[in-house]
Amino acid sequence: MYKKLTFFCAALSCILLGGCGSQSGENGVVIVYNWGEYVDPDTLDMFEEETGIKVIYDEFETNETMFPKIEAGAAAYDVVCPSDYMIHKMIENDLLMELDYSKIPNAKANIGAWYWEQSQAFDQGNRYSVPYCWGTVGILYNKTMVDEPITSWAQLWDETYKDEILMQDSVRDAFMVAEKTLGYSMNTLNPDELQKAKEALIAQKPLVQAYVIDQVRDKMIGGEAAIGVIYSGEAIYTQYENPDLEYAIPEEGTNVWIDSWVILKDAPNKENAEKFIDFMCRADIALKNFEYITYSTPNDTARALIEDEEIRNSPIAFPDLTQYDNLESYVYLGEDGDTLYNELWKEVKSY
């Protein structure tokens, strides 16, 4: 009996572990790890058809959830699309491969010079990353539910909007709002400034309806809240669904972010990964993606192809950033900085 059982168990585990080979295209596979719904699925089909490379596609929710998976090497990915400060962190942790731009000709040809320059902040010399989407963090508000236009972060502390405010449920974004309101840098590590920012967030908590990441969009469309902190890429879509909504870049300044493609150092399919990034930089593909996900594209050639002039020159999707002098990007704060921010954020959340 005993032998039979162990045999059964052994046999079972063999079947289970062995029977899971994934099918591959004629030219192999590329394993992509991207934000949820951050690409038009049609473009993936087109890539497969044109190159014969099968795309294995996986999604993550935040930079912070993506990082441990990559660091642990739990699943072998080729191409990932993290944000600026996280790319910095990944470079510091020696997780990324230096790119060979001769294999990715579309990148340099189509992506605007401004974005490359902006990327230098986290990727010195543009050696590791190719910009995919960018935007600002701002305030989305419902014109019918507020008395005056919302133009500043300070209005998120206004008692009249009690229970009508949606804050971002992520450390950096939440602290950015408080720090900018108080006139600090969003990358500050000054303990006094951080204490003040924390106290401001605690003071704001009774006014906040909820801390959310993704649901700002749904809740704003449904008129569930009057004011929400949101990524600019969501604004076009929400306005289309609910014309009462208005997007504003607050006067105290805000965060400009870039999400970029990177290839992992231990990627199993490096060549296919390069082909994938090159394909994503093609103007027609970038345009298709822009139309699908409505996040601003750094692909100038693609932007020129947008037929609707209103969108091509939309101040939300393509704001003229030169008129703001207090925009910043997140930088990686180092391990101690991360820990400090997390500790303070927990104090806010559990208050």
Partner 1 sequence: MKFAKKIYVALIFLFLYAPIGTLIVLSFNASKTRSKWGGFTVKWYVSLFQDETILQALGMTLLIALLSALAATVIGTISCVAMNNMKRRTRAVLMGVTNIPMLNADIVTGISLMLLFISFGLRFGFGTILLSHITFNIPYVILCIMPKMKQFNPSVYEAALDLGASHITAFFKVMLPDLAPGILSGFLMAFTMSLDDFIITHFTKGAGIDTLSTKIYTEVKKGIKPEMYALSTIIFVTVLVLLFLVNAAPDKKQDAVL
Partner 2 sequence: MKYKKNILAAPYVLWSALFIIIPLCMIFYYGLTDKSGAFTMENILAIASVGHAKALWRSLLLSLISTILCFLLAYPLAMILAGKKGNQTGFIILIFILPMWMNFLLRTLAWQTLLEKTGVINGILSFLGLPPLRIINTSYAIVLGMVYNFLPFMVLPLYNALAKIDENIINAAKDLGANKIQTFFRIILPLSVPGIISGVTMVFVPALTTFVISTLLGGSKVLLIGNVIEQEFTQASNWHLGSGLSIVLMIFIIINMLVTALLEKE
List interacting residues with partner 1 (CB under 8 A): 5, 12-13, 16-20, 22, 31, 33, 35-37, 41, 56-61, 72-77, 213-215, 217-219, 221-224, 241-242, 293
If the CB atoms of residues 2 and 17 are measured against partner 2, the closer one turns out to be: 2
Residues in contact with partner 2, shown as a per-residue x/- string from 63 to 102 under the rule CB under 8 A: -xx-xx--x-------------------------------
The partner residues of 299 in beta bridges, in order of sequence, read 111
Q: Which does 152 bind (CB under 5 to 8 A by kind): partner 1, partner 2, none?
A: none
For the bound state, the minimum distance from the C-beta of residue 219 to partner 2, rounded and expressed in Å, comes to 8
SS3 content of the chain, % helix, strand, coil (to 5): 50, 20, 35
Q: Which does 309 bind (CB under 5 to 8 A by kind): partner 2, partner 1, none?
A: none
If the CB atoms of residues 191 and 222 are measured against partner 2, the closer one turns out to be: 222
Neighbours of 239 (CB within 10 A): 19
Determine if 1 is a binding residue for partner 2 (CB under 8 A).
yes
Determine if 160 is a binding residue for partner 2 (CB under 8 A).
no
How many whole angstroms separate alpha carbon 312 and alpha carbon 257? Answer: 20
Q: DSSP characters for 75-124?
A: S--SEE--BHHHHHHHHHTT-BPPP-GGG-HHHHHHB-HHHHHHHTTTSG
How many whole angstroms separate alpha carbon 201 and alpha carbon 197? Answer: 6
Q: Which does 22 bind (CB under 5 to 8 A by kind): partner 2, partner 1, none?
A: partner 1
Q: Which helix (H) or strand (E) holds 260?
A: strand 256-263
Answer whether 186's CB lies under 8 Å from 175's CB.
yes
- State the residues that interact with partner 2 by CB under 8 A: 1-2, 5-6, 9, 62, 64-65, 67-68, 71, 163, 169-171, 205, 208-212, 219, 222-224, 338-339, 342-343, 346-347, 349-351
